[in-house]
Chain A
């Protein structure tokens, strides 16, 4: 068990190494002169030279990479081209809204999707089941920037019950925070909920065909106890897996959702960086988000061993 944990934790190192190498080499693999592209169409030769110097593009590849990794180890993600501030500082300032948005979304999505999936599996083939499956396919198809504007139009402009855009920190009270975060969370949570509901349905459906479910029914156990205590518990592993895998979708969606709802988080930082071609920021955001993805999936793998005692390594 401990040997497995250590092996699993060590396995994240090569993954992060590949991410780092890839993100760094993009500057060199991209066709044309990255310094000229970052500088933009109106740049003078001096500007381009300055940016080349700043990105360290004058030095040999391996020297640059060594320096970059060394700084990375000390938590130094480089300096923004546009504002001259350290990338790590800029990211820390924007961390809270993104963290709040993604965690609220996950809570809402899981709380809605797991019961939906269980009920759909229990009532398989009925119109309830069809309804859940229809919701799932629609959830995949409506992108967050379409759904977000539809929700804003309905709840903020027509019904005037929620604020149009913006973000209020939770430190200024839970009510105002919730008012602002509810629409973005629903928007971002749609895909997540669709995925989790679908996976829950399939997984529970498989377990429901097992003999011990029939036995549980036969000994007179209440339906809800069979569904939650027996079926859902045994169906949990694939559901947790899909939550871990879909974390990448959650991050990608957060960038767009923050942009729709004008939330000053990491996504907005990224979008502003795109417009200014501030590559060090984009680099930093990728590294941090990929790191988060790797950690979440590490956590998922560890949770398995608690969820399912049959899994032994």
Chain B
């Protein structure tokens, strides 16, 4: 952006508004961001303060009160072992959010490094992009299934198994932006005055990638929450001794004709969480990157 564009001129003439007013204006213009954030924030609060919302033990067995329908004592009913579905669902929020956030953080970070190198160094590019094309051809959940079949079931392994298939998406995005930017005159100018390689990447190229990257990270988070639940539902995810939404549903599926609540409530929590993250992503995309918004 140069100093002659109208927006920049207005910036110079008008004194900056107070931060509070700016935030209020941003929220008014981006209602989906606000709505998504509030939903997501409530999920984060539920996850952090799970023992407060659900004082019981999510693993406590009570065969005497098996398969009770939702009631005042058991809001979401009980499962085939008499465990309280509400408590388990509340604790399940933790796993989903931990997996979602870790996967989006790890895959964006790794993808960013590979993508920047690939976009900037021609030699690396040819090899890296072939590998990424191959990885992209494997449906993500299948790749995760294969990795889970070869490792012991644990939350860490689930995170790794979901992160790897997501990396190529980030690499492609970052590389695309870098390829566009490195032809810009200001990069040439930086190079000609002898700016070091890593400085060009961090100071000049990185800031241009941040906006689309944040949007992408939100979508990856939503995908990761879905894939974790899917893997656990298929029996290839979080181990059964840790309650996760996918696990609860997997255990409830044999009884779903007589005890629909075991599947319904974790399913609704899952859908609402994913919806919240998607809304946040859509809103951020429209706010941060109008070009991308038009393309989608």
**What is the interface size of chain A, counting residues whose CB is below 8 A from a CB of the partner?**
58
Assuming the A-B contacts A23-B146, A143-B274, A146-B267, are A290 and B294 also in contact, with contact meaning beta carbons closer than 8 angstroms in the complex?
no
In the assembled complex, B143 has its CB within 8 A of some CB on chain A: yes
Proximity string of chain B (233-277) to chain A, C-beta cutoff 8 Å, 1 when within and 0 when not:
111100000000000010001001100100110011011101100
CB distance B233 to A290 under 8 Å? no
Contacts of B296 in A (CB 8 A): 198-199, 202
Is A27 in contact with B235, judged by CB distance below 8 angstroms? Answer: no
Which of A27, A251, A282 has a CB less than 8 Å from the CB of B139? A251
Q: For B260, give its contact among A14, A153, A255, A260 (CB under 8 Å).
A: A153
Q: Indicate whether B7 reaches chain A with its CB closer than 8 angstroms.
A: no
Q: In the complex the two chains form, is A141's CB within 8 Å of B146's CB? A: no
Which of B131, B142, B233 counts the most A-chain CB atoms under 10 A from its CB? B142
One of B65-73, B75-83, B113-121, B147-155 at the interface: B147-155
Q: Is A256 a contact of B139 with CB atoms below 8 Å?
A: no
A199 to B294, CA, bound (A): 10
How many Å lie between the Cα of A23 and that of B134 in the bound state?
10
Option from A141, A256, A279, A290 in Cβ contact (under 8 Å) with B137? A290
Is B274 a contact of A141 with CB atoms below 8 Å?
Answer: yes
Main secondary structure of the interface of B (DSSP, over half): helix
CA of A142 to CA of B274, assembled, Å: 8
What's the Cα separation between A294 and B134 when bound, in Å? 9
For the residues of A in contact with B, the DSSP-based class is: helix
Q: How far is the CB of B281 from chain A (nearest CB, A)?
A: 10
Q: Which of A148-189 contact B (CB under 8 A)?
A: 149-150, 152-153, 157, 164
Contact B142 A285, beta carbon cutoff 8 Å: yes
Among B140, B143, B226, B236, max chain A CB count under 10 A is at: B226
Listed stretches A58-66, A217-225, A268-276; interface member = A268-276
Q: Does A252 contact B (CB under 8 A)?
A: yes
List residues of chain A with CB within 8 A of the CB of B267: 143, 145-146, 149-150
Residues of B within 8 A of A290 (CB): 137-139, 142
Chain B positions within 8 Å of A273 at CB level: 149
Chain A residues lying within 8 Å of B235, measured Cβ to Cβ, are 271, 274-275
Chain B contributes a number of interface residues (CB within 8 A of A) equal to: 49
In the complex, the chain B residue whose C-beta lies closest to that of A277 is B149
Q: Mark B140-171, 1 if CB is under 8 A from A, else 0.
A: 11110111111110000000000000000000
Q: How far is the CA of A198 from the CA of B143 in the complex (A)?
A: 27
Cβ of A37 under 8 Å from chain B: yes
Q: A19-B134, A137-B278 are in contact. Are A27 and B236 (CB under 8 A)?
A: no
Q: List 30 A-B contacts (CB under 8 A).
A: A15-B134, A18-B131, A18-B135, A19-B137, A19-B138, A23-B138, A26-B147, A30-B147, A34-B150, A37-B150, A140-B278, A143-B229, A145-B249, A149-B253, A149-B256, A150-B264, A153-B260, A153-B264, A164-B257, A202-B295, A251-B142, A252-B140, A252-B142, A274-B145, A282-B142, A282-B145, A286-B138, A289-B142, A290-B142, A293-B138
